[in-house]
Amino acid sequence: LLSDHGQSPGETFAGRYGLTLKDLVRAGCGLPVPRRARGTHSASEARDAVRIALHRPPAEVEPEAEHPARRSEPIVLASGNLGLVSFPDIEGRASR
């Protein structure tokens, strides 16, 4: 859960970083994001911040399985100054 503990008017997440919160989470999970979310300087910074928070190196490359299992995508809800991110494939609390 993300919060700035205030309802101050200001830029939206997409306006500030050049991509939506959903696109940021998808990029941090190694999922595809729309072309518009890949090309901005601030989007690159935001993706790097997510990778650091997830303890992943920026250039991490995982070998692909022969037939990888289909995984659920993260659920991202944004409302005002709050963001809720849920990972259906992770049981319990996702602290790392």
What pLDDT sits at residue 25? 87
Say which amino acid occupies 68.
P
- Please give the C-alpha separations between residue 57 and each of 3, 48, 50, 51, 60, in angstroms, as whole numbers: 26, 9, 10, 7, 5
> Is pTM beyond 0.75 here?
no
Which residue ranges in the chain fall short of pLDDT 70?
1-8, 36-47, 49-70, 96
What pLDDT sits at residue 94? 76
What pLDDT sits at residue 76? 92
Q: What span, in angstroms and rounded, lies between the C-alpha atoms of 83 and 31?
A: 19
Please check whether residue 88 is in contact with residue 15, taking contact to mean a CB–CB distance below 8 angstroms: no
What pLDDT sits at residue 29? 83
What b/e sequence results for 7-41 when a residue is b if at least 16 CB atoms lie within 10 Å of its CB, and e otherwise? eeeeeebbeebbbbbbbbbbbbbeeebeeebeeee
Number of Cβ within a 10 Å radius of residue 56: 15
